[in-house]
Structure 1
Amino acid sequence: MQDYDFYIASGGGVTIGGGEMSLQTDFAVALFSECKKMMLNTAIETQGTTPLANYQKLAPVTDTFLFDIKQINSEHHKALFGIGNEGIRRNLEWLVDSGANVIIRMPLVRGYNDSFDAITGAIDYVQKLAKRGNIRRIDMLPYHQLGRKKYERLDMPYPITQDPSYSSEELNQLETFFTQFDFDIRLVRH
């Protein structure tokens, strides 16, 4: 592997993401098993929507799960995504109870999941869950338009007509708001 020395020196490794990688569980387990033989860190990005059995297979070879919580209220989750979040929460709770390292990621999209109740509900849920296991932090990911250029290159209309991005002032207010919680919450700026 060309960058092996860099990965070892930096503590870096291999992250599988894009779409829902846990749908490719057998491939991910095989790849991560080889990574573990080389002493490389492994991580998987997941929405948590696949069957629990997939996470049970992935857990022994995955160092960190980057786990999305998009909407903590199950009814709102169903309205936005077509399914409730009970299975997602079950998978996350199993990972935490099994001792997996988890980083929660919450995409923030204006008007969809950035209300006071949605944000504080998710944070409260994660704080309670963290008492049972190793949730390292919450990364809040404000909406951005980095994907707009891809649509333009593909000559496709961008599906979001109104820009729900946050201003610098709004991001500063969110960061200040997060300091009231006794938990590591990071606002990821793009």
Structure 2
Amino acid sequence: MLKSNRDLITELKGVLTSQQYSPVVVGNYCAYARGCLDHLERQNILAADVTEAPVEQYLRDAVGLFQQHRGRRPGPRWHQIPCAGIHALLRLVQGQWPPPPKAICAADALRFAICDEYETWLHEERGFARPSIDAFLWEARHFLGWQLERCGVEGLIDLSIGDIDCYMDLRALVVAVSP
């Protein structure tokens, strides 16, 4: 049986509270999650079936509402608050959010397999926390996409997890040295 929007927000509030989020953050996250659920309901989309496009549209609409109510655009990092609440809700409903990308060719399948292996390695060998793993995977996906464009599938076949980790170390060095 599907849960009502009210039940989903109640469950989200309980999860966030149990994770010791502050009451203000819980309220903000739940407010944006509720707004997104209302937006999805108007489009006859269930939270269990939502994809990234309707969520992105809701966030664009939320920026417009912010500007309409306050007479100015939100700050440059304002989107992090609604995104965090909406993503927490969708992880609760779907188990994972954002949804994993779908392979549309053999090269994509290879890239995704490499990322899966890298994710396991980051968790088991490096002992990284989920947010760090997600950040490393984001960068790895972009690196592998660049490598594919540059060298083709052969360039991916020869890559090891150690190669990806070396690239990440170099990226961290460049960021640390940048002004």
More strand by percentage: 1
Q: Taking structure 2 as the reference length, what is the TM-score of the superposition?
A: 0.25
Larger Rg: 2
More helix by percentage: 2
Q: Taking structure 1 as the reference length, what is the TM-score of the superposition?
A: 0.24
